[in-house]
Amino acid sequence: MNKEMETPYYLIDEKKLLKNLKKIQHVRDHSGAKLVLALKCFSTWSVFDLMSKYMDGTTSSSFFEAKLGYEKFGKETHAFSVAYSADDIKALKNISDKIIFNSVSQLKMFYNEVKHIKVGLRINPGISYSHFDLADTARKYSRLGVISERDIISVLDNISGLMFHYNCENDDFESFSGMLDKLAEKYKKVLNKVEWVSLGGGLYFTKDEYPLDEFCKKLKSFSEEYNVQIYLEPGEAAITESCELVTKVLDIVKNIKDIAIVDASIEAHMLDLLIYRTPAKINAKAGGNRYIIAGRSCLAGDIFGEYKLADKLEIGSIVHFIDAAGYTMVKKNWFNGLKMPSIVVKRLDERVEIIKEFLYNDFLKDLS
């Protein structure tokens, strides 16, 4: 790799990506489930040729995402939206294999336009796995999915499948298994009437030490008991630990503690960390040198985290933030007019490609 490559940049490593994809293939082979990539988490289509070999398609949260999946990934295209517009439906009905509605009212409103394809309904089972209220689908007054069993039964003749999205960052198999049993008990009558069931995303089954075979066995048992095709919608699970945000130290200032300022921003380039108030993971040996590593935006809380490093940081030092694929490139923004990180891919054959560089004209055009 060119050591002089201009920072900052996202570096996607296809070999690391392949490690996750092989686990996904294992789940497909041993459970019978189909797995579709959640584009809301990761939409960097320059690696879709590789990912599409191991996955069954994509699932979306908007027309733009669905169109991207249809054009760049292929295979099955699942459309979901919390609320569709009439124009959305008009565009989606010709490119989607499945359209999943968030409410009975929208299903009834648009059913005649989409009844020629597979129609699904999102259910809110009233249970969830989340460390954050922001991401808790079962939070008070949640708008995500249908709660009333009576409402679900009223449209059973109009749908072929159901979607339950109730996990977030769930790497606990016992929790997943227990919640699936509760879901099965609560919706037994409904499950026996449909052809397919999506269990959504948020399941970290590609993490090391996850009991993958038990996971497959549980999925297969559920599928056979209710005679349904199971879908999973991995986002983070598909791309975890496959990407770094590579940055450079521009300055080191002292305010009781040493603060290293890099040429990126948590606000602009790793926004989820700011939203959920979690530190960035760093690829560096631990030691006795303490630093706060901060972004260069004007936001006072633009902080990647506080670290104890073996090596001292200097102006020009390269800092690698790891696990930087999910909810980063899809959320990057022009806050402070900071240059967006380039997107770089290290291919399976070790070739390094600069896929996209963002220049002033991109900033100019985005803001009209």
Q: What is the pLDDT of residues 84-136, one digit of tens each?
A: 999 999 999 999 999 999 999 999 999 999 999 999 999 999 999 988 888 88
Report how far residue 283's alpha carbon sits from residue 276's, in angstroms, rounded to the nearest whole number: 21
Name which of 315, 313, 330, 343 is nearest 244 in CA terms. Answer: 343
Task: Tell me, yes or no, whether 257 and 298 share the same domain.
Answer: yes
Distance CA 77, CA 279 (A): 34
Q: Tell how far CA 263 is from the center of its chain.
A: 25
The residue-averaged pLDDT of 194-206 equals 97
Instruction: Mark which of 212, 239, 266 sits at the end of a domain.
Output: 239
Report the predicted TM-score, pTM, of the whole model to 2 decimal places. Answer: 0.95
Domain CATH for 257: 2.40.37.10
Q: What are phi and psi of 322, to 5 degrees?
A: -95, 170
Same domain membership, residue 222 and residue 300: no
What letter represents residue 186's amino acid?
K
Structural domain harbouring 339: 241-366
Q: For residue 3, is pLDDT > 70?
A: no
75-80 average pLDDT score: 98
For residues 264 and 204, membership in a common domain is answered with: no
Dihedral sign from CA coordinates of 95, 96, 101, 107: positive
The per-residue pLDDT of the chain, averaged, comes to 96
For residues 352 and 1, the answer to whether their CB atoms sit within 8 Å is yes
Q: What is the mean pLDDT of residues 35-44?
A: 98
The SS3 assignment for 211 reads coil
What confidence score (pLDDT) does residue 249 get?
A: 98
* 164 and 65 housed in the same domain: yes
Average pLDDT over residues 234-245: 97
CB distance 338 to 299 below 8 Å: no
Out of 175, 204, 239, pick the residue that ends a domain: 239
Q: Are residues 73 and 206 in the same domain?
A: yes
Which CATH number belongs to the domain containing residue 141 in this structure? Answer: 3.20.20.10
What burial class does residue 224 get, using C-beta atoms within 10 Å of its C-beta: 0-12 exposed, 13-18 middle, 19+ buried?
exposed
Nearest to 175 by CA among 144, 218, 133, 145: 218
Task: State the Cα torsion 238-240-245-249 to the nearest 10°.
Answer: 180
For the residues 236-242, what does the mean pLDDT come to?
A: 97
112 with 233, same domain: the answer is: yes
Secondary element (H or E) of residue 329: none
Average pLDDT for residues 235-258, to the nearest whole number? Answer: 98
Q: What is the DSSP letter of 146?
A: B
284 within domain boundaries:
yes
Residue 308 clears pLDDT 60, i.e. is over it: yes
Whether residues 234 and 139 fall in one domain: yes
Which is nearest to 155 in space by CA: 121, 188, 110?
Answer: 121
Domain-embedded: residue 347 = yes
Q: Is residue 5 part of a domain?
A: no
Residue 4 within a domain: no
CA distance 226 to 90: 33
Q: What is the mean pLDDT of residues 293-303?
A: 97
Give a yes or no: residue 7 inside a domain: no
Q: Is residue 256 part of a domain?
A: yes
pLDDT digits (tens, 9 = 90+) for 322-332: 999 999 999 99
Q: Is the dihedral of CA 132, 138, 142, 144 positive or negative?
A: positive
pLDDT band at 246 (very low <50, low <70, confident <90, very high): very high
User: Is residue 6 situated within a structural domain?
Assistant: no
CA distance 226 to 197: 10
Number of compact structural domains in the chain? 2
- Estimate the crossing angle of helix 212-226 against helix 173-186, to 10 degrees: 10
User: pLDDT at residue 1 above 70?
Assistant: no
Residue 242 reports pLDDT greater than 90: yes
Q: Give the span between the Cα atoms of 187 and 203, in whole angstroms.
A: 21
Q: What percent of the chain has pLDDT over 90?
A: 95
DSSP, collapsed to helix, strand or coil, labels residue 158 as helix
Same-domain status, 228 and 290: no
Q: Which pLDDT belongs to residue 132? A: 85
The reply to whether 207 and 314 lie within a common domain is no
The alpha helices in 93-156, defined as continuous H runs, are 104-114, 149-154
Together in a domain, 26 and 111: yes
Q: Which amino acid is at 249?
A: V
Note whether 196 and 93 are same-domain residues: yes
With respect to residue 9, please indicate whether it lies within any of the assigned structural domains: no
Give the type of residue at 309. L
Task: Give yes or no: residues 215 and 115 share one domain.
Answer: yes
Of 214, 239, 264, the domain-final residue: 239
How far, in Å, CA of 358 to CA of 341, rounded? 7
